[in-house]
Amino acid sequence: MNAPLIKQLLLISTLSVCLSIPSIVQSAGMPPYIDGQPLPSLAPMLEHATPAVVNISTSTNIQVSENPLMQDPFFRQFFNVPNQSRQQQNNSLGSGVIIDSNQGLVLTNNHVIDKADKIRVTLHDGRQLTAKLIGTDPEADIAIIQIPANNLTQLPIANSSELKVGDFVVAIGNPFGLGQTVTSGIVSALGRSGLGIEGYEDFIQTDASINPGNSGGALVNLRGELIGMNTAILAPTGGNVGIGFAIPTNMIIPIKDLLVKHGEVKRGLLGVTTQDLTPDLVNAFNLENKHGAAVSRIESDSPAAKAGLEPGDIIVFANGKAVKNSQDIRNIVGLLQIGDKVDIEYFRGNDKKSVVATIGKQEQPRLAGEKLHPLLKGTILGATQKDQIEGILFEKIHTSTYAWRLGLRPGDVIVSANRYRVHNLEELKKVVDPGVPLLINIQRGQEGFFVVLR
Report the run of H or E that residue 426 belongs to, with start and end: helix 425-431
As beta bridge partners, residue 168 has 186
Q: What secondary structure letter does DSSP report for 363?
A: -
Which residues, 6 or more positions from 429, have their beta carbon under 8 angstroms from its beta carbon? 363, 364
| 221, 162 contact by CB (below 8 A) | no
**Of 216, 225, 268, 245, nearest in space to 106 by CA:** 216
CA distance 385 to 313: 42
Which of 57, 95, 111, 209 is catalytic? The answer is 111
Could you confirm whether 215 is annotated as catalytic?
yes
Q: Looking at 74-180, which runs of residues are DSSP E strands?
A: 85-100, 105-108, 118-122, 128-130, 132-137, 142-146, 168-173
Which residues, 6 or more positions from 98, have their beta carbon under 8 angstroms from its beta carbon? 52, 53, 54, 104, 105, 106, 107, 152, 153, 154, 155
Which of 95, 193, 215, 416 is catalytic? The answer is 215
As beta bridge partners, residue 414 has 392, 442
Could you confirm whether 296 is annotated as catalytic?
no
Which of 95, 137, 141, 202 is catalytic? The answer is 141
CA distance 138 to 192: 18
**Catalytic positions, please?**
111, 141, 215
